[in-house]
């Protein structure tokens, strides 16, 4: 596990960004991809715009039109052991990772600059199949754009400053890619502060 400021890049990554390559074995990745092949994805709709990527959400889902979370389908069995491991990586209890989302990126699919919905605090992402470049830049202030390659089978955590004071994006991917994201709801009293 590598904390952002210790990451071996020319520029340090934001405080609270933690990355680990080879979080999964190749065999574990293969099994996950087999399970994901049976998942029914939906087009990702963002304020009336249909994105190139597709998604499926479990536990809770975020509604961009109402800005609220709603109940979603329960976590499938194949995601539960991964949620346990992701929670351990993030230093939280597995049951606090209330949302699991699988994203499918075909070639050419990006994800624009954003911060995750304010109802969520810690965000944990796992990359599958092919690498992608995650870019990070300060939120609503000037600053240099930093980037890190999210290798297949790697995991990252956004918390603290990396979660709230930075935004992130992924440029169009060259090859098909999947990501699994687990998110933790903020305690209600903290939501007004984000």
CATH number at residue 25: 2.60.120.590
Q: In this structure, is residue 5 part of a structural domain?
A: no
Q: In this structure, is residue 191 part of a structural domain?
A: no
**What CA–CA distance (Å, rounded) separates 184 from 122?**
5
Q: In this structure, is residue 46 part of a structural domain?
A: yes
Q: In this structure, is residue 38 part of a structural domain?
A: yes
Residue 7 has pLDDT above 60, yes or no: no
pLDDT tens-digit series, residues 151-183: 999 999 999 999 999 999 999 999 999 999 999
pLDDT tens-digit series, residues 135-152: 999 998 888 999 999 999
- Which range, of 7-11, 52-56, 140-144, averages the lowest pLDDT? 7-11
Q: Which residue range is the domain that position 107 belongs to?
A: 19-186
Confidence of residue 187 (pLDDT cuts 50, 70, 90): confident
**What CA–CA distance (Å, rounded) separates 99 from 57?**
7
Q: In this structure, is residue 12 part of a structural domain?
A: no
Q: What b-and-e string marks burial along 7-34, b requiring 16 or more CB atoms within 10 Å of the CB?
A: eeeeeebbebbbbeeebbeeeebeebee
The residue among 46, 68, 45, 41 whose CA lies nearest residue 57 is 41
Domain count, the chain: 1
pLDDT reported for residue 153: 98
Cβ 55 vs Cβ 44: under 8 Å: yes
Confidence of residue 119 (pLDDT cuts 50, 70, 90): confident
Cβ 148 vs Cβ 137: under 8 Å: no
Q: In this structure, is residue 1 part of a structural domain?
A: no
Q: In this structure, is residue 110 part of a structural domain?
A: yes
pLDDT tens-digit series, residues 64-103: 566 667 788 999 999 999 999 999 999 999 999 999 999 9
Q: In this structure, is residue 132 part of a structural domain?
A: yes
């Amino acid at each position: 596990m590598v904390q952002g400021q210790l990451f071996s890049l020319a520029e340090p990554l934001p405080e609270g960004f933690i990355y680990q390559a080879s979080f999964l074995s190749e065999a574990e990745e293969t099994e996950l991809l087999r399970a994901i092949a049976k998942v029914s994805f939906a087009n990702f709709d963002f304020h009336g715009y249909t994105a190139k990527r597709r998604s499926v959400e479990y536990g809770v889902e975020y509604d961009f039109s109402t800005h609220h979370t709603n109940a979603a389908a329960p976590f499938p069995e194949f995601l539960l052991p991964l949620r346990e491991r992701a929670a351990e990586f993030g230093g939280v209890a597995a049951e606090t990772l209330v949302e699991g989302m699988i994203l499918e990126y075909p070639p050419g699919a990006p994800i624009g600059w954003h911060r995750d919905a304010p109802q969520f605090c810690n965000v944990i992402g796992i990359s599958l199949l092919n690498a992608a470049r995650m870019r990070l830049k300060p939120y609503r202030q000037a600053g240099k754009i930093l980037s890190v390659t999210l290798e297949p089978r790697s995991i990252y955590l956004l918390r603290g400053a990396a979660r709230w004071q930075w935004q992130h994006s992924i440029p169009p991917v060259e090859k098909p890619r999947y990501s699994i994201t687990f998110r933790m709801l903020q305690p209600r009293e903290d939501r007004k502060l984000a």
